[in-house]
Amino acid sequence: MTTDVSLADYARFFRASARKTVLLLVRYPVNTLSQVGTLILVFFVIFYGGRAVAPAAIDDSLSGIIVGYLLWSMAIAAYSGLSWAVTREAQWGTLEQLFMSPLGFGRVMATKTVVNVLEAFLWGAVTLAVMLAVTGRSLALDPLTVLPLGALAVAPAVGIGFVFGGLAIRFKRVENAFQLLQFVFIALIAAPVGDYPLLKWLPLAQGSHLLQRAMADGVPLTGMSAGELGVLVATAVGYLAVGYAAFHYCQRWARRAGVMGHY
C-alpha cells in the first residue's frame, strides 16, 4: 500500500538505485569486465568470422551489422536487467522489503528499470566505440536523433523485461527461459520491415529500421515521416504498457499463491 509521495522521494530513490548499480559494477570488477568483454568478443567473432567466410558481403552490410548489434546488446541489457534484479533481491532476502516501500513495488521496479536502461546505454556506447575503432567505419551520431530513437527502440524490450520480471516473482528461476529470447531478438532486429510493412509492429523491428536509417544512412529525426515515427511511438508505449500490466498481475498472483518470500 502506498502513501503520498513526492517527486523528491522518487528522485532520492533513483539516486540510491543508481548509486547501488555503480557500486556493484565497481566492487565486482571481474563480473563487470566479463559482461563488456563478452559483448565485444561476440562482435569480433561476427566481424572477423564473416570476413573470413564472405568478406564482400560483410563489407557491404557492415554499417547495418554495427547498428543491429548495438541495438541487440542494449535490448538484452534492458530486458534482462529487471529479471535479474528480481532474482537477486529474492536471493538476498530483500524482495519483500521492496513491497513495503511507500513508493509502491511497481514504481520501485519501474525506477530500477530506468536505471537499467541508462546502464544499457552506457554499455552500448562502449561497445559502439570499440566496434567503430575495430572496423574503421563511421556512422552518423547526431544525439538529437539517435538518443530518442534508441530509447523508443529499446522500450518494447523493457516491456518484455517486465513480463519476465513478473514471471521471476512468481516462479523465481526463469533465467534459462529469457536467455532463449536473445535469439528471437536477433530475428526481430533483422526483420525486413521495408519489404513486409506489417513486421514493423513487432517489438524492436521498427526501432531497428529507423536506427539503421539514422545512423547508417544519416537521415535526421526531422527527415522521417510522421507515420514512421508514430508506429515507433505506438509500439514503444504499447509493449511497455502490456509488459507492466503483466508484471502487476504476476506480483498479485505470487501474493495469492503465498510464494512472495520464497526462493
Q: Using one digit for the tens of pLDDT, what is the confidence trace for 39-89? A: 889 888 888 888 888 777 777 788 888 999 999 988 888 887 777 777 777
Q: Is 199 part of any domain?
A: yes
Cell of 52: 573470413
Per-residue pLDDT band at 261 (split at 50, 70, 90): low
Return d(Cα 260, Cα 93) in angstroms, integer: 10
Among 1-10, 19-28, 161-170, top mean pLDDT goes to 19-28
Return d(Cα 208, Cα 68) in angstroms, integer: 7
Cell of 146: 539517435
Write the CA distances from 260 to 81, 97, 201, integer angstroms.
19, 11, 35
Return d(Cα 146, Cα 149) in angstroms, integer: 5
Q: Is 87 part of any domain?
A: yes
Q: Are 110 and 2 in contact (CB under 8 A)?
A: no
pLDDT at 2: 46
Report which of residues 100 and 240 the model is more confident about. Answer: 240
* Domain region containing 142: 7-257
Percentage above 70 pLDDT, the chain: 91
Q: Is 91 part of any domain?
A: yes
pLDDT at 1: 45
Q: Is 218 part of any domain?
A: yes
Res. 21: pLDDT tops 60:
yes
Q: From 41, 46, 254, select the one nearest 168 (Cα to Cα).
A: 254
Q: Is 136 part of any domain?
A: yes
Number of domains within the chain = 1
240 CB neighbour count, 10 Å cutoff:
22
Q: From 173, 31, 155, 12, select the one nearest 90 (Cα to Cα).
A: 173
For the segment 195-213, the average pLDDT, to the nearest whole number, is 92
Question: What is the model's pTM?
Answer: 0.85
Q: Is 263 part of any domain?
A: no
Q: Is 29 part of any domain?
A: yes
Q: Is 2 part of any domain?
A: no
